[in-house]
Copies of this chain bind each other. A is one copy, B any other.
Amino acid sequence: MKAYRNDLILQAAKGQLTSRNPVWLMRQAGRVLPEYRASRAKAGSFFGLLKNPALAAEVTIQPIEILQTDAAIIFSDILVIPEALGLPYEMVEAKGPFFPKTIAHEKDMDALSLQGVSTLDYVYKAIALTTEKLAGEVPLIGFAGAPFTIFCYMTEGKGSKTFSLAKKMLYTSPALSHRLLHLITEASILYLKEQVKAGAAMLQLFDSWAGVLSPEDYLEFATPYIRRICDALKAEMPEVPITVFAKGAYYALDDFAASNCDVIGLDWQTDISFARLKTKGKTLQGNLDPSVLYSSPENIRNKTKSMLQKAHGTPFIANLGHGLYPDIEASHVKVFIETVKNFSHENTGQ
């Protein structure tokens, strides 16, 4: 195993109580940093940044230098998987992703193929380049969307409050839905393995749209595929920690606890004390409400300390309960990070 100058996050992910809590932020490489906006302007477009390994590596490393987080996360997008499978998408300014074609019938599946995962070479190159530039400073996190979330986009074709088209398909064509979920799962396994081979030291699955399903449907259409991904990765690369972050799926905590993942990411609607009861043996990650970073430094400090106090005594990776909002001031993000870094010293004397 590779050694890092700062491997706090790997220690915590493996269930160790660390001298202080490691900290990083979902969407830490992004619009919150002026340096990111400069790189993005240089790239000309979202895809220009995404598909240029040198620029992707550049923005991945920015938060390590500027915010001094304890991990980097590769700058990429969860929707590269549908694109690799054969379903391309556009990024519409101020609206988000849009798929001109979607999957609605059996015949639409014919256009999809696992072969395309090899076209994601630009991601693997970005990871290799980032790993080289990080030079063992901190670990790099790789990621993928969880199968249900990817399914949502491939069937609905765009973001939605309700994902009613996606859910209609689950209910009216369960066999076809499972076929698509299975394909996404296999693609994700290949993809995540390649990310590790390229240099990722940890992996995270994002189930961003978990919250649109009922508990019953989540256990039918989402959890089994997350578990399959964890099992497949653990069989081949047991030393690589896996985090599952399913926004809105508080009721699935026991199910994740019974899975082969190492870390369970919490959204800010989930109380850490509640989660601890449900997830014994797992490391927790989260879960400050990102909106707290809009408020005063004093309030950020208080809310961050309150979060760390609740997690005290359990392996814990400090983070937000969702991605960083792009209009938050970088100086406020620093207050959050500094509060985490100073906390254990104050409270444990270590």
Contacts and interface: CB of A to CB of B under 8 A. Distances in A.
A251 interface: yes
Nearest to A292: B171
Given A250-B250, A274-B251, A168 B217 contact: no
B296 A172 contact: yes
B211 A291 contact: no
Nearest to A327: B164
A299 interface: yes
Contacts of A346: none
A269 B209 CA distance: 12
Interface in A212-228: 212-217
Given A216-B306, A217-B289, A250-B250, A167 B294 contact: yes
Contacts of A168: 291, 294-295
A99 interface: no
Contacts of A343: none
A30 to B, nearest CB: 15
A215 B250 CA distance: 12
A88 interface: no
Interface string A292-325: 1011100100000010000000000000010001
A299 B171 contact: yes
A248 interface: yes
24 contacts: A162-B290, A162-B325, A163-B291, A164-B325, A167-B289, A167-B294, A168-B291, A171-B292, A171-B295, A171-B296, A171-B299, A172-B294, A172-B295, A172-B299, A214-B268, A214-B271, A215-B269, A215-B270, A216-B306, A250-B250, A251-B269, A251-B270, A251-B271, A251-B274
